[in-house]
Amino acid sequence: MLTNEQNQQLERLLDSVQKAVRYLGGEMNQRYKPEASFGFAFCFPDTYEVGMSHLGMKILYRILNDLDDVRCERVFMPAVDMADGLRREGIPLFSLETRSPLKDFPLIGFTLQYEMSFTCVLEMLSLGGVAALSKARKESDPIVLAGGPSAANPEPLTPFIDAFLLGDGEESVVEVTQLVKALREKGETRENILFALSQIEGVYVPRFYEAVYNEDGTIRSFGPIREGVPPVVRRRIYLDFENAPYPEKMIVPYTQIVHDRVALEVMRGCTRGCRFCQAGYIYRPVRERSPKRVMELAESLISSSGYEELSITSLSTGDYTGLAELVAGLNKRFQNRRVALSLPSLRVDGSLKETLEETGQVRKGGLTFAAEAGTQRLRDVINKGVTEDDLITAVSDAFSSGYAGIKIYFMTSLPTETYEDLDGIAALAALVRQTYFNLPKASRPGGLRINISTSTFVPKPFTPFQWCGQDAPQVIEEKQRYLREKLRMKGLAFRWNDWQQSRMEAAISRGDRRMGAVIYEAWKLGCRLDSWTEHFNYERWQEAFQKVGVDIAFYANRERSYDEILPWDFIDMGVTKDFLRKENEKAKAGVTTPDCRQGCRGCGLQRLEGVCT
């Protein structure tokens, strides 16, 4: 724990920083176990409001704190004023529960949700008194773990992380914690502990592997350099989703957070197979919770939190079997308790009307529809099985159910995109607008607000587009300028993402081990909180690439050939490289692959016994 003197300095610092409530802890349903001997610091590499909105952290927080003698405590990235204050005053970054410095935890685990949070991993370690570089850590220093979707390609972070947990963490985080605890108690060496970890399925210990490169910069070979270390690491898949432990008493922050509501995960995985979507491949197979279990969980979550809103979450909630009945049941149960239901990630090709009418009963929020691309041709390329008719029916249902605020989301710079596809976005926007005005005045809500928002496509590992190059910056800029002109319409607002962040994401997400040096340099130059536009500094990142001598375009814009060894090839995600290659070929030919619920498409999961039926 912090010393008395540090605590006093901290109180003074807290008086001077913005939103000090981020650093106080003590919320409803916090787990406080100072008596437990073994500490696990669960780190989220972004600020409190962002991290507290993340479901995975809440699940693992509960599982770890349910273990005897283990205390799992939360650590978040402080905002810039607090980070600088901590450094100035010499106060180490601490956990919220017991105010223990990060360096005092034998285990530290980061959850990686997006690449632009990577510099925060380094910053948090450094603020917490832990060496950022794995090789600089001493025998008794904490062991640093990482998991989450952005660990799907762990290579860029290998210099900083001692062990990665790939796939669902529900079981592996327990196995890892218990093993480290037992071996630490026996006084085992760090090296031996890490070797023991490498024997757990789904755990990747980068120091036991080596990459050799060709002259052109591509990978010549990759593999283990120590006997007994698995050449292929298979992702963990947790199958008993129905009975999986769930944070039934979730922490209720005092302050408003990004997703300030109960999140209830009704389904994990998605079988639609949109070719740009990493989550659609790395979370297979689809696992659903029964409506009965969902109702039970909803009851305990609402009554233990007091939240006013319940969000039914998954990658594609519209695909949940019996969604309409579930929503009706939840509404019936919670209506008189003034709980609003929200359904993010609805697809537009299902029957929406009933569901919309149910969810709108307490309060009407906005609705977001993901169209992804402007023309049927391009939607076929990316395998987004949505048609213009689907979208128009959906928005028409939404308008007549009383929703006047509609957001339609597109990606630009998708593989094979042309200006015709951009024209398609504008045409679709105009059609949506017209749909509103075609409704009789009496049966549509007033105050039409259509938001068209676009982001730049980032090719991701373990997707059929993992070989693609991203559009060059000039091309992206030109396309955005073109769309801005095309989308000048009344009642319609257009928002787009700056390409700089997308470019960095494209470079880092498909980076190899050499990317670690770039991230380290960027952090040294002062990069942190890069997912915040106000803190992101593209010039600094460019400088980091230059200093280390790494070419951004090699990673972001280069098209890879099928026979190239990709940095993440040693990971068995379930989905095979062969399947992804076939999907990429089908994309080029504009051929779609239907949802595998209607028949197996041979993605690779079928190889694993009992996983996909």
The span from the CA of 503 to the CA of 496, in Å, is 14
By CB under 8 A, residue 306 contacts other proteins: yes
Nearer to other proteins by Cβ, of 446 and 610: the residue is: 446
The encoded tokens of residue 578 equal 């062969």
Cβ pair 192, 183 in contact under 8 A = yes
| Contact (Cβ atoms closer than 8 angstroms) between residue 155 and residue 119 | no
Decide whether 188 or 308 has the Cβ nearer to other proteins.
308
Binding other proteins by CB under 8 A: which of 141, 188, 201, 308? 308
| Partner residues linked to 41 by β-bridges | 73, 108
Residue 1 sits in the site that holds other proteins (CB under 8 A): no
Hey, what long-range contacts does 561-566 have (CB within 8 A, 24 or more apart)? 561/467, 562/467, 564/218, 564/219, 564/467, 565/218, 565/219, 565/220, 565/221, 565/222, 566/219, 566/461, 566/466, 566/510
Before 285, cis peptide (omega within 30)?
A: yes
**How many other CB atoms sit within 10 Å of the CB of residue 538?**
16
Residue number with CB closer to other proteins (14 or 229):
14
Considering only 2, 20, 174, 196, the residue that binds other proteins (CB under 8 A) is 20
| Rounded-to-integer distance, Cα 72 and Cα 63, Å | 9
Distances (CA, A) of 276 to 413, 458, 580: 11, 8, 11
Of the candidates 508, 507, 419, 516, the residue with the CA atom closest to the CA atom of residue 469:
507
CA 567 to CA 562: how far, in whole Å? Answer: 13
Site mask, other proteins, residues 322-341, x = CB under 8 A?
A: ---------------xx---
Judged by CB, which is closer to other proteins: 336, or 474?
336
End-to-end Cα, the chain, rounded Å? 49
Q: How far apart are CA 163 and CA 506, in angstroms?
A: 24
Instruction: Locate 81 and state its tokens.
Output: 């004023």
CB 296, min distance to other proteins, A:
17
Distance of closest approach, residue 298 Cβ to other proteins, in angstroms: 14
Q: From the CB of 210, what's the least distance to other proteins, in Å?
A: 49
Q: How far is the CB of 442 from other proteins (least distance, A)?
A: 20
Residue with tokens 């809440």: 58
Candidate list 37, 189, 214, 303; residue touching other proteins; CB under 8 A: 303
- Closer to other proteins by CB, 300 or 376: give it: 300
Q: Is residue 15 at the binding interface for other proteins, with CB under 8 A as the rule?
A: yes
305 is an interface residue for other proteins by CB under 8 A? yes
| Stretch of 21-29, 218-226, 407-415, 478-486 contacting other proteins, by CB under 8 A | 21-29
What is the pattern of x (binds other proteins, CB under 8 A) and - over residues 346-365? Answer: -----------------x--
Grouping H, G, I as helix, E, B as strand and the rest as coil, residue 484 is helix
- Taking residues 221 to 260 in sequence order and writing x for each that binds other proteins by CB under 8 A, - otherwise, the string is -------------------------------x-xxx----
Residue 54 beta carbon to other proteins: minimum distance, rounded to whole angstroms? 20
> Using the rule CB under 8 A, which residue among 98, 178, 300, 304 binds other proteins?
304
Work out how close the CB of 79 gets to other proteins at its nearest, in angstroms, rounded to a whole number: 14
Q: Does residue 32 bind other proteins (CB under 8 A)?
A: yes
User: Using CB under 8 A as the criterion, which residues of the chain lie in contact with other proteins when the complex forms?
Assistant: 8, 11-12, 14-15, 20-21, 24-30, 32, 252, 254-256, 303-308, 337-338, 363
